[in-house]
Amino acid sequence: MSNATTTLQAIIFDVDGTLADTEEFHRQAFNEAFAEHGINWHWSPEEYTELLTTSGGRERIRAYAEAHLLPRPDNVTLRELALKLHTHKSAIYRDKLVNGHIGLRPGVLRLLQEARQAGLHIALATSSSTFNVETLLLHALDRPLRDYFETVVTSDTVVDKKPSPAVYQFTLAELGLAPDECIVIEDTASGNRAARAAGLKTVITTHRFTRHHDFSGASLVLDQLGAPDDAFEVQAGNSHGASYVDLRLLDALLTGTMDPLADSWPDEPIVMAK
């Protein structure tokens, strides 16, 4: 895509909940790992919605244990327990990806294809592990998706988890681009805050676990990326008549022809149409 017609040079995607609706697989894997280790923890969908405000599986386990003062096996530190549980949980999650053959969220493949055809850079920036990401990219469709992404930055590359901007700052450095040349697709409040702290504009695609998050500062909040025959639902922001996310809309958001959300979020929760 030529600089003569647009400033958009790259799209940076989050992974879990953004590329694919993986969060329910993660929730189930956590609960199975707890049960197999004889720990009487069970994260309901409602609890997991709150837990997703903490990025990183090990961090989520530690935060939950600390908040609830839950017992743990003797002579095992909380850090050791979290690592052990998360390692087992990740193996269960990857098995679910392989056996469940999860698909991409609506509009993702279309946008990837449009971006690659236009010559844009495409990157992933996630708090997930490289192994989990590679497994998802291998099994999300009938053919591997890895070749779409020029840059993949994971928790194995950048230790600080979202909402730290580190993963996005590192991704920008890898791409050799400035924040005003890129736009981010995210799904959580922590991801939105991380990207915004790195100076990046964001488009949010929510799901059952994040639709009530605070997305202050995002340029647009939607239920999905949409398609020509499957319009997105605008939850906040102004799509200026667009019904699906394409490169023209992303460039318009990036160049400021569409107003970003105000710094305050609506008092009433956003309810998606059924």
Residues marked as catalytic: 14, 16
Class of residue 73 by CB neighbours under 10 A (exposed 0-12, middle 13-18, buried 19+): exposed
Name the amino acid, one letter, at 68.
H
Q: What strands, in cross-sheet order, belong to the sheet with 234-237? A: 151-153, 121-125, 10-13, 182-186, 201-205, 220-222, 234-237
Structure tokens at 185: 């697709």
Sign of the dihedral through C-alpha 130, 136, 139, 142: negative
DSSP code of 159?
Answer: -
Class of residue 44 by CB neighbours under 10 A (exposed 0-12, middle 13-18, buried 19+): exposed
Spatial separation of the C-alpha atoms in residues 269 and 247, rounded to whole Å: 29
Spatial separation of the C-alpha atoms in residues 159 and 161, rounded to whole Å: 6
Spatial separation of the C-alpha atoms in residues 243 and 217, rounded to whole Å: 21
**Bridging pattern class, strands 220-222 and 234-237:** antiparallel
Query: Which of 166, 171, 188 minimizes the C-alpha distance to 55?
Result: 188
